[in-house]
Amino acid sequence: MHTIENLQLNSQGKLQHFLSIEGLDKSLLTEILDTAESFAYISEQQVKKFPLLRGKTIVNLFFENSTRTRATFELAATRLSADVLSMNIATSATSKGESLLDTIRNLEAMQVDMFVVRHSLSGAAHFIAQHAAPHISVINAGDGRHEHPTQAMLDMFTIRRAKQQFSGLRVAIVGDILHSRVARSQIHALSILGAEEVRVIAPKTLLPAEVESLGVSVYHNLAAGLKNIDVIIMLRLQKERMNSALLPSESEYFKCFGLSNDKLTIANKDAIVMHPGPINRGVEISSSVADGPQSVILQQVTNGIAVRMAVMSMVMRRKTGTE
């Protein structure tokens, strides 16, 4: 039985699946960022196609809704010349375990090469990677509250482009950390890449119990937490994952934890503002900040394509012999 960590890597230490940031090392994350730089260059040319995955079939298996992630995975695959099948499979209480495996077996029978999986259950992508045929690569596009590794890498790419390096950087992640797979992946990636400090800023009800064990400092006051900060990552309130009232009201939340222009001036002058999307204007971020000069929110979306091209090409490399 493979462990979660080594399931992602083959015997030469190369990526064969991309399931979580946890368990990867700095050189591998840096390789993803450097590979993405070359794909970002291609994406800026008139002809955006590259024949690296010609003849390969990639299945986007989305058991949960998505706009940005699904669209950018699809564009990344087509820019690498792969054939792409995008499936939107609504989650139902019974579509777990064997029925998930049945879906996979049927798609495998169609001779596909890669699954890009989003699922509301933590561990779903690992489960598929453990059970899929050995030639198939699995990329986690978000599993429950666990991880969203390609989102974290496009965020790291955006940070590196804006700030050049991770050493010395102070990063604040603000909002619904409890339900956020993005925050979990970002915290791992920032610590592996050597950021100086990662702060989480949230009300107590929106923080997981074990959060300090991830190596972050915890703040419950936005103004205090934003001092000396270089990168601010705002998170959406994931109401679809809240099964009880964790907050008084949205307007109260905005007053305490929403990023307005006033609050933004507390951070370093050249701080960048990020958000994985979808944004809720007036709930966690004001429109003037989201659309303002310090926001890199749309650059994150653009960078998502190059980063996903990088990850897809790296997991397929062991089979295409292009090393």
Residues that bind ligand NCD (CB under 6 A): 68-69, 142, 148, 151, 181-182, 236, 238, 276-277
CB of residue 272 to ligand NCD, shortest distance in Å: 17
- DSSP H helices, the chain, are 4-7, 26-43, 68-79, 97-108, 124-131, 149-163, 181-193, 222-226, 250-257, 261-264, 287-290, 297-320
Q: Do the beta carbons of residue 138 and residue 132 sit within 8 Å? A: yes
- Closest to ligand NCD by CB, 87 or 223: 87
- Closest to ligand NCD by CB, 186 or 191: 186
Query: How far is residue 297's CA from residue 320's CA, in Å, rounded to a whole number?
Result: 34
- Closest to ligand NCD by CB, 43 or 280: 280
CB of residue 277 to ligand NCD, shortest distance in Å: 5
CB of residue 140 to ligand NCD, shortest distance in Å: 11
- Closest to ligand NCD by CB, 52 or 61: 61
- Closest to ligand NCD by CB, 144 or 225: 144
Three-state DSSP at 83 gives strand
For residue 114, give the DSSP letter: E
Torsion of CA 173, 28, 59, 274, to 10 degrees: 20
User: Using CB atoms, what's the residue nearest to ligand NCD?
Assistant: 236
CB of residue 14 to ligand NCD, shortest distance in Å: 26
CB of residue 109 to ligand NCD, shortest distance in Å: 29
Three-state DSSP at 96 gives coil
- Closest to ligand NCD by CB, 16 or 295: 295
Query: How far is residue 147's CA from residue 249's CA, in Å, rounded to a whole number?
Result: 28
| The three-state (H, E, C) secondary structure of 218-272, written as one string | EECCHHHHHCCCCEEEECCCCHHHCCCCCCCCHHHHHHHHCECHHHHCCCCCCCE
CB of residue 29 to ligand NCD, shortest distance in Å: 19
Q: Is 237 exposed, middle or buried (0-12, 13-18, 19+ CB in 10 A)?
A: buried
- Closest to ligand NCD by CB, 238 or 268: 238
CB of residue 148 to ligand NCD, shortest distance in Å: 5
Q: Which residue has the tokens 């001036």?
A: 265
Query: How far is residue 235's CA from residue 244's CA, in Å, rounded to a whole number?
Result: 19
